[in-house]
Amino acid sequence: MIFMMLQEAWSAMSANRLRTFLTMLGMVIGVGAVILMSSIGAGTQAKVKESIASMGSNLFIVLAGSMTSGGVRIGSGGVQTLKMNDASAIEELSGIKAAAPVVPGTAQLVYQSSNWNTQVSGTTPAFFEVRDWPSEEGSVFSDSDVRSATRVAVLGKTVATNLFGDENPVGKTIRIKNSPYIVLGVLAPKGQSLDGRDQDDTVMVPITTAQTKLFGSQFKGVVRFIMVEAVSESVMDKAEEEMQVLLRENHKLRPNAEDDFTIRNLTALANTAAETTKAMSLMLAAIASISLLVGGIGIMNIMLVSVTERTREIGIRIAIGAKQRNILLQFLLEALMISIIGCLIGVCVGIGGAYGVGAFFPISVVITQSSIVISFLVATCVGVFFGFYPARKAANLEPIEALRYQ
């Protein structure tokens, strides 16, 4: 019986191919859009998650200077208020795992005939722990390198590739601002940061070397920012308060004076970014599902036309013994078939489109099984929902009226 009815639905659909195709197109576009959009959403989310993971966990950044100072907004880092001993004092706090002072700058690097201009940062070995950033080859520098301000460097992956190509850089000597530095190691690749920078395009040297030799002696003892890792996410709020109290004390600030530093909770910021992308991908899917709804209305439209056109046929069927539920099922099945076939094509179009977008645009796409399953279920529901009204209209036709219809 059900097979017979499927055949019936199929023959009704193929009786008017162009119209069936156009009706299906609504579902195809709807389902395709939902899958494409949720793939883009999922891809963006995955990328953000990856960037957050690459940042390190439970992270603070303490910047020199306040965002506003005496009513005048000055860029943080524009003043030299953070010192080396601030970092070591922060590290002593109970909720803090490690603190790494950083002095960033840019410099020209030379190895034989290769040239590379990049960010060179002075820091301590704690930095590699805080950022969870091990070396891939060789090693990172040690505390004794920091104490004696040796001319050694650790290269990011991008720098190593650009300066050395396939050569192993460990043990080689490069020139930074014309002074020779021995390469101790190459860091494992991190990929892009949240704001899209290449995190591997960087060189690390001991902070003392940066302060006294690389960027001139005016930076002695001064740091631009401190990267701080808390022991866990739950202690971060308390640790932030403690750091603030400690730094105000160390900087001998009066109670009514503003902070001359800024503490940022990077993990909280990252979580916000993750939430934002999640909301964005939900919104994309929601917008796409509107087209699914429009597709459903298209099905209802055509089914209503089809019921009117086939009034006489319905009359004949009722006259020779079709029950109301037979007629209802026949038209419902037809609507369902259109939406399911449209959905299957839509899934293919969506997956193809997602691969296309991934291949031709710098957007990462992740096709999720759930988006396919959900759009399939939604399409089925749309078919039943929008097919029901026309089907009921057909089933409720009076046989004499229907037979008389020309």
Partner 1 sequence: MLKLANVTKTYKMGDTIFHALKDINLQIDEGDYIAIMGPSGSGKSTFMNILGCLDKATSGNYFLNETDTTTLDKDALASLRNHVIGFVFQGFNLLARKNLIDNVALPLVYAGIGAKERKVRALEVLKSVGLEAYATYLPNQISGGQQQRVAIARALINRPKLILADEPTGNLDTKTSQEIMDLFCKLNDQEKITIVLVTHEPDIAAYSKRLVNFVDGRIQHDGLTEHFQASLV
Q: Which residues bind partner 1 (CB under 8 A)?
A: 1, 3-4, 11-12, 15, 312-313, 315-326, 399-400, 403
CA separation (Å) from 6 to 172, 255, 378? Answer: 75, 81, 21
User: How many CB atoms within 10 Å of residue 15?
Assistant: 11
Judged by beta carbon, residue 75 or residue 321, the one nearer partner 1 is 321
In angstroms, the CA 343 to CA 2 distance is: 21
Shortest Cβ 10–partner 1 spacing (Å): 11
Shortest Cβ 313–partner 1 spacing (Å): 6
Query: Quick one: which of 152, 151, 154, 158 has its CA closest to 116?
Result: 158
* Amino acid residing at 185: G
Shortest Cβ 390–partner 1 spacing (Å): 19
Judged by beta carbon, residue 130 or residue 327, the one nearer partner 1 is 327
Shortest Cβ 26–partner 1 spacing (Å): 24
Judged by beta carbon, residue 163 or residue 397, the one nearer partner 1 is 397
Judged by beta carbon, residue 17 or residue 254, the one nearer partner 1 is 17
Q: What residues contact residue 159 under an 8 Å CB cut-off, 6+ apart? A: 109, 116, 118, 200, 201, 202, 203
Residues 36, 353: contact at Cβ < 8 Å?
yes
Judged by beta carbon, residue 183 or residue 329, the one nearer partner 1 is 329
Query: Quick one: which of 282, 278, 285, 281 has its CA closest to 35?
Result: 285
Q: Which two structure tokens, joined as six digits, stand for 237? A: 């709020």
* Amino acid residing at 296: G
Q: Is 73 helix (H, G, I), strand (E, B) or coil?
A: strand
Rg of the chain in Å (alpha carbons)? 33
Judged by beta carbon, residue 61 or residue 316, the one nearer partner 1 is 316
In angstroms, the CA 152 to CA 171 distance is: 10
Shortest Cβ 4–partner 1 spacing (Å): 6
Judged by beta carbon, residue 290 or residue 319, the one nearer partner 1 is 319
Shortest Cβ 316–partner 1 spacing (Å): 5
Shortest Cβ 19–partner 1 spacing (Å): 14
In angstroms, the CA 132 to CA 33 distance is: 39
Residues 390, 300: contact at Cβ < 8 Å?
yes
Judged by beta carbon, residue 317 or residue 393, the one nearer partner 1 is 317
Shortest Cβ 332–partner 1 spacing (Å): 16
